[in-house]
Amino acid sequence: MGPVRRPVAWVVAVVLFAEAFGVVALNWFLGEVVHRQRMSLAGLDPNVMSNSSKAGGLVFGLYFALCGLVALLVAVRGRRPAGFGRVLLISAAVAHGLLGAFAWGLVGWRAFLFMVLVLGLIVLLLMTYDREEGTAGEVPGGGAWDKGGPGFEADPGSGSAPGPANQADHGSEAPRPLTPPAEARTP
């Protein structure tokens, strides 16, 4: 799945940047409509409603832009998101799931489909970078190591050979790696 990683990260970055711009523009437009029409909801001040709409749009726009920046860094570096960036992308996926659920009832199935598509892209980005190259027991140069294989020793000071019989003598102590096999060493 290696060749799919970077294009997915680029697509997620572009979509999140476009979504950030769209959220800011939509909320700014709605704030201006409320301000110019002097609309009021249950006696609330129209200026407060207008400013709140604009501020909320800017906050969510910056949030989606920050998530887009994380996806862009993933695409450029070719490494999985870690720490705060990973948390941001997971929270963006959750937000799109919730927005999709609300969009179905309030806007329609097309908005729901868009939110689910973005949710799927973010999850795909997180999942394709979730695994490192190779599996847990493999060495990048080839050959798999197992607990009793070459390059392992049950207890370095005991002078005994590794194996299932000696592992029982040492309790739950796991074998320790010494050096990788010759075919796995890199020059």
**pLDDT confidence band for 105 (50 / 70 / 90):** confident
Amino acid found at 138: E
Q: Which residue has the higher pLDDT, 39 or 78?
A: 78
Q: Give 123-152 as a DSSP string.
A: HHHHHHTTSPSS-TTB-TTS-B--TTSTTE
Q: Helix or strand or coil: residue 126?
A: helix
* Locus of tokens 């197992």: 146
Task: Please state the separation of Cα 82 from the chain's center in Å.
Answer: 8
Q: What is the mean pLDDT of residues 79-90?
A: 88
The pair of structure tokens assigned to 89 is 């992308």
What is the structure's pLDDT at 144? Answer: 46
Q: What is the average pLDDT value for the chain, to the nearest integer? A: 77
Q: What angle do CA 11, 74, 141 make, to 5 degrees?
A: 115
The pair of structure tokens assigned to 63 is 């949030």
What is the torsion angle, in degrees rounded to the nearest 10, for the CA atoms of residue 18, residue 23, residue 24 and residue 25?
80
Q: What is the mean pLDDT of residues 7-30?
A: 93
Tens of pLDDT along 130-182? 655 444 444 444 444 444 445 445 555 555 555 554 444 555 556 655 665 55
Q: What percent of the chain has pLDDT over 70?
A: 66
Count of H-run helices and E-run strands, the chain: 5, 2
